[in-house]
Amino acid sequence: MGRWEPNARGRLERAALELYVEHGFEQTTVAKITERAGLTERTFFRHFADKREVLFAGSGAMQELCVAAVAAAPDSATPLDMVAAALDAASARWEERGETVRKRQTVIDANAELRERELIKLAALSTALADAMRQRGVAELTARLTAETGIVVLKVAFERWIGDPGQRSLPQLIKECLNALGTMTGSR
């Protein structure tokens, strides 16, 4: 990033999200994004491979955060505790970036290709979580199912968070989902 373009990446991301929300993802060009951000297309392509990548560039870092949380869980942690630690780490980060994350989700929900891409990213996260659990000694099938259950919790908590802004925080909603999961095998 050159010194002529302070926070170019953040400006591009903000401009892109605004335009995706205002005009739709399909209708927005890289030219329009750079115009609004007051930057050149060359700068855009130094930060992102294409306009879709603006929405998914953060997935890798989020996955690393989750995997690190599983690796750092205490030895006494159950598989579900490990996933809970991962979700807790990720959701604290999302909560900080609240408005951006909400906008991003609105854009993705409105576009089939983006939804498919999001599912692929979530599947990769699930695989990474399962691998991290196996490295902690969790059996193959349990690791797989616990990771997938974690993704379910994330999905349901996220929906409630997006649908109910300003009420409970994402970490709180995730905690509620994990508690509800605990009653799955209990009497009603």
Cβ closer to a copy of itself: 59 or 142? 142
Q: Closer to a copy of itself at the Cβ: 8 or 86?
A: 86
Give the footprint of a copy of itself on residues 71-100 (CB under 8 A).
Answer: 76, 78-80
152 binds a copy of itself, rule: CB under 8 A: yes
61: burial class by Cβ within 10 Å (0-12, 13-18, 19+)? Answer: exposed
- Encode 108-157 in three state secondary structure: HHCCHHHHHHHHHHHHHHHHHHHHHHHHCCCCHHHHHHHHHHHHHHHHHH
Token couple for 5: 């373009």
User: Looking at 38-46, 57-65, 140-148, 163-171, which segment touches a copy of itself (CB under 8 A)?
Assistant: 140-148
Residue 138 sits in the site that holds a copy of itself (CB under 8 A): yes
Nearest to 66 by CA among 84, 43, 53, 47: 84
**Nearer to a copy of itself (CB atom), residue 15 or residue 82:** 82
Q: Of these, 29, 116, 135, 167, which contacts a copy of itself (CB under 8 A)?
A: 116
Residue with tokens 């109910």: 164
Under DSSP, is residue 53 helix (H, G, I), strand (E, B) or coil?
helix
What does the radius of gyration of the chain's CA atoms come to, in whole angstroms? 18
CA distances to 8, 34, 38, 65, 151 from 41, in Å: 11, 6, 10, 31, 36
Q: Counting contacts by CB under 8 A, is residue 124 touching a copy of itself?
A: no
- Asked if 114 touches a copy of itself (CB under 8 A), the answer is no
Residue 40 is a binding residue for a copy of itself (CB under 8 A): no
Q: How many whole angstroms separate alpha carbon 47 and alpha carbon 45?
A: 5
Site size toward a copy of itself (CB under 8 A) is 34
Which CB sits closer to a copy of itself, 89 or 177? 177
Q: Which residue ranges make up the site for a copy of itself (CB under 8 A)?
A: 76, 78-80, 112, 115-116, 119, 136-139, 141-142, 144-146, 148-149, 152-153, 155-156, 176-177, 180-188
